[in-house]
Structure 1
Amino acid sequence: MTATTRVLVVEDNEDMRVAVAAELRAQGFQVDEAADLAAAEAALTRGDPDCAVFDRMLPDGDAVAYVGRRRQDGWTVPVLFLTARDTVADRVTGFEHGGDDYLVKPFAVPEMTARVTALCRRQGERRSPVLRHSDLEVDSARRQVRRGGVLLTLSDKEFAILEYLMARPEQAVTRSELIDHCWDTSNDPMSNVVDVVVRRLRAKLREPELIHTVRGVGYRFGDARSSS
């Protein structure tokens, strides 16, 4: 997985949620955790993950119905349902409401991780794997960055921030957005840490500068302009 592959885990059983999240993080994913649909909705307002794992029956409703409503609005994030309901009718209902995979409890956590990996890979294949601007090229699939044909060595966070900014050319991106996308919920940094990472990233990218400070907001990726 790339440094920015994100998974949302929605599970009200704390022991299971912690175990699933820990295994996913060990495999290189960034993980957001939610104990119910309301918390999941709040997490999704910060941006879509590459995959979402939903326990089916949550304290505030059935995740199948929730995902079905989101699918009607055009939501395309791959979804894996976790559930104790194991009849054929239950599985069919899950798929009919927009589920991409269905895993019955109890399950082996490594199997769940393998299924999430497959869903994230499928989602990634739908996206353009290479971002380009001028002489800068970011290959998300290979996690490689080149400028002027020269391969650059970036840290995970540097790569994550560059990929996120580059996918939003000429848009002002706040430090909070970068924290939400490039750090998971178990390790939120202070905003000055973002500034430190951006400063290192700028040095590695060299001139002409492509990451610009937007005063009072955050950063913008693109060509220089006097309003930045």
Structure 2
Amino acid sequence: MKLILNPSPTIDTRPYWKHLWRTAISPRFHWLFLEARFKANFMNESIYRRIITILFIIFLIAGAILTQSFFKFVLAIIFPLTFLYHIASLLQFLSEHKWGSTHNKTTKSHGRFCGVTPPTDSSPWAWCYWIIKMLGHFLVRVAVLSGEMPEHDWHHKSPKTQKEWANGTYARQREVEAGKDYIDFWGIGQAIEHVFQGLAKVDCNSDS
């Protein structure tokens, strides 16, 4: 297992980060994402799926009308299921593989885990800072890397054992302990930086 704490600092990935943040708040990005979701649910699916989707939307709208809580409906339902969901999906998909690599999915996959090492001293400020950082990791774990997403690389490296997906974390760890080659990133920011560095290398090679 390889644990990468700090990707190479010699590669300038700032343009990629700037583009990511611009994309996250871009109305065009959110519109295209919403359009794709609409097509996926109403044009490319079975009649059963379409009916269930329509009934679900009617149920939500009816609830907002009957309770006269339109603002709460927008804040608690519409905003998280559109704007926030789109950003979470963007971060998840972006950090999933080393995009641009010529390797296959097995070799360009990596683990993305949430957490940070506790402070070594007993300073209250150090522990407060650690708690704040852990809260950030908690939000990522719940909203971005939910379910078995952290060990997504195991899905590609051991496709024959996918019936064990509910225990993927433990299955992956057993393979790590058995000596199988895995790459770990702690913090989604480290995983995204790794992806951006790979893209930067591809851009440099294409320009040369």
Short-chain TM bin: under 0.3
Q: Which has the higher contact order (CA 8 A, sep 6+)?
A: 2
TM-score (norm 2): 0.26
TM-score (norm 1): 0.24
Whichever of the two has the greater Rg, that structure is: 2
The structure with more strand, counted as a fraction of residues? 1
